[in-house]
Structure 1
Amino acid sequence: MESVWQPSVARTSHGPHPHGGHRGWAIRGTGSYLPARRVPSGELSRSLGLGPSWIEERTGIRSRHVADPGQASSDLAAAAADRALARAGVAAADIGLIVLGTSTPDELGPSTACRVQALLGAGRAAAFDVSAACTGFVYGLSAAVGWLAGRPDPAPHALVIGVEVYSRFLNSADRATAALFGDGAAAAVIGPVAAPHGIGPVTLGSDGSRAGDVLIPAGGSRVPASAGTVAGHGHTIHMDGRAVRDFITGVFPRLVAGAAEDAGIKPADLALVVPHQPNPRLVASLAGEAGLDPAQLMIAGHDVGNIGAASLPYALDRAVREGRIAPGDLVLLAGFGAGVTWGRALVAWPPPDPHSPDPPAGRP
């Protein structure tokens, strides 16, 4: 099942933008945070009883980061959000909404977004989590843009965050999951922009009949925590690797094709495609099938592994910091994950905000 948010609603419902044209919504700043501890794949391979190059050869992952014992998802998320706010030149007090995507919340309740609100001092912001696994950032982006579109002038900014501390939810003896997942956070500040720049359309989809492909089976209302669930590793990630691979192989080219059709262009005309990358080697291998040149893909998972809802925004932040996006570029964000869920967003990249103290560099 898929739903589409069309940008024309946001760009016309509030009349002219004060700087000319109709108002849309753009990514005004990005930021990311990785825990200090880095675990090379060679070290992890040996701990799993494998050859030192086993993980990197099969996944392309060279290393991943692991949170310190005292770090929770909210701590990583707040650090990433603080960097995004600084880049956007926006104070936490001016944020009206915080949407946070995660599969590894601080606790089952309250929302981790509320913890982040308190850490940032964003006292004016409404805050909630979205549970869409690795598609969480795209789902969060859709929620934020829809919320902003309904606000009266002057609309506040929104903050969309993806964060995971997967290391707390891994069976260290399960090579299918221990080899892939890492910890990290990334965020984006969403603010107004004059057309034709901005975010949209955003398309979301899900297939709940495949919810068992990737899950943490215990700890919820169906299988409450018990001594047996702990002993049986019920609170760790369980994954059907073959089913997940088949899902990725099918969904990624479809997301690219649908986005190109929406925009009336060919995939080759996209300036950059930023995908979720649970297995960087697999995703990169799908470029040709999606009608893309490998150079159009922003692959950043080699150094972080699969960081779930943070994977896509982390790669986007890397692209911004490395100058791979210029004003006017058409950028595709393509997410997919457990649920199963998927989502895509076309972004007509905006010019630098003149109020930003550190506008992102464009390509030469």
Structure 2
Amino acid sequence: MPATARILPFPQAGGTSAVVCGLGTWVPPRVVPNAEIAARLDTSDEWIHARTGIRERHVVDPGMATSDLAVEAGQRALKSADTDRVDALVLATTTPDRPCPATAPDVAHRLGLDRCAAFDVNAVCTGFLYGLASGAGLIAAGVAEQVLVIGADTFTTIIDPDCRATAAIFGDGAGAVVLRAGSASEPGALGPFDLGSDGQDADLITVAAGGSRQRSTRRPAEPGAEFFTMAGKAVFRKAIFQMAGSAQTVLRKAGLGLRDIDRFVIHQANARILNGVADMLGQPVDKFVRNIDQVGNTAAASVPLALDAACASGELRPGQRVLLGAFGGGLTWGSTVLRWPELEAV
């Protein structure tokens, strides 16, 4: 169990809880199959799929930014929730349109949500879970009645296209949910959250250049420092350990057991990581939703994209108990549980 994890209080019966009432996603239309990048990376479609579980990914066209994906997903989530107003917008992303200002206010403006609170959250691949917790906190505090939470990333804009370790893994996409104030007993109500971090391993997942640490030197960045890097083997082990531990923590807080969970929807980082978490929890792999073969690792968009895919296929049905989980740079991790609601498909 991660010693550094902190558990947020579980909503008391009769209190105000955040309830999922809308879901929407969007991926760029351009599809890049493994074969298109295999020759450049001196590998093969078979090798990429065997190592990652990925067959294709969606990639932004030149000039397309994270906000463009976020707006599309946000529109669909608002339509799903049958609302055109929210009190706050939380955008989870590691690839903002610009270092300053935050991307969320622009997304809110383009969605017609002027004057609502809007801010970015950067917890890398755990961003959507941190965003959900932020939205739930705004509702619990009485600051907002409805919150739009978006996870959107264009990771293909920050990876070295010739790096075999990362170029085949990542794709671009966005997913969003609308949260509303409601009762802890109704379908869609978010349960307890487990959120944690371990900054001593911050360099395992990083973009070295572009921040104040590098810029304050007044020297040009080292060649390649502008690209995303990841210590694959170390991240692999920590991702399995932390996501499994976080799942156990949040279930204990919720008063549930592993057998009570119908579906696990966790960050689609790598098919072998999904299998590793299943093994560590002693759960059958078919309880773990996966769409990584079609979209790759989409960072903060990963969990909502997997939710949408599972809903569309009928794998995820109203009334099922679902555990959401993720692990990302920081290092960060998080989990929550809910009973899946009836949602209008968009």
Shorter chain as denominator, the TM-score bin is over 0.9
Instruction: List structure 1 runs of 4+ shifted beyond 6 angstroms.
Output: none
Which one is further off, 106-115 or 247-256? 247-256
How many percent identity over aligned positions? 38
The normalised TM-score by structure 2 is 0.93
Partner of 1:169: 158
The residue aligned with 1:187 is: 176
Q: CA deviation at 1:85?
A: 0.8
Partner of 1:52: 45
Q: Deviations over 1:321-361 (max 9, x none)?
A: 22333333221110110000000011123355xxxxx369x
Moved more, 290-299 or 133-142: 290-299
- The secondary structure found in structure 2 opposite 1:253 is helix
Root-mean-square deviation (Å): 1.9
CA distances 1:30-52 after superposition (whole Å, capped 9, x unpaired): 11111011110122112211133
Unaligned runs of 5+ in 1: 13-21, 353-357
**Which amino acid letter does the alignment assign opposite residue 338 of structure 1?**
G
How big is each residue's C-alpha offset from its partner over 1:127-180, in whole Å with a ceiling of 9 and x where there is no partner? 00011110000101111111011227xx53101111111111111121111111
Give ranges in structure 2 of 5+ residues lacking alignment: none
Are the aligned partners of 2:74 and 2:150 in contact in 1 as well (CA < 8 Å)?
A: yes
Q: What code does the residue aligned with 1:171 have? A: D
2:105 is aligned with 1:114: yes
Structure 2 partner of 1:27: 20
3-state secondary structure, aligned to 1:326: coil
Tell me: CA distance 1:129–1:292, structure 2 relative to 1, closer, same or farther (3 Å).
same
- Select which of 270, 281, 294 maps to 2:285: 294
Question: 1:2 is matched with which residue?
Answer: 5
User: What is the distance in 2 between the residues matched to 1:330 and 1:65?
Assistant: 30
Equivalent residue number for residue 77 of structure 1: 70
> Deviation at 1:195?
3.4
1:89 to 82, 90, 106: 82
Q: Does 1:314 align with 2:317?
A: no
Distance 1:359 1:70, change over 3 A: closer
Contact 1:200 1:345 (C-alpha < 8 Å) held by counterparts: yes
Verify the 8 A CA contact 2:11 2:184 in the aligned structure 1.
no
1:273-303 CA-to-partner distances (Å, cap 9, x unmatched) read 1000211233134313212111211111111
Superposed displacement of residue 3, structure 1:
2.3
Deviates more, 1:191-200 or 1:98-107: 191-200
Distance 1:242 1:300 in 2: 22
User: Which is worse superposed, 162-171 or 218-227?
Assistant: 218-227
Q: Which secondary structure state, in structure 1, belongs to the residue aligned with residue 317 of structure 2?
A: coil
Count, aligned residues? 340
Which residue is equivalent to 1:329?
Answer: 320
Q: Is the 2:91–2:150 contact (alpha carbons within 8 Å) kept by the matching residues of 1?
A: yes
SS in 2 for 1:255: helix
Q: Does 1:66 align with 2:62?
A: no
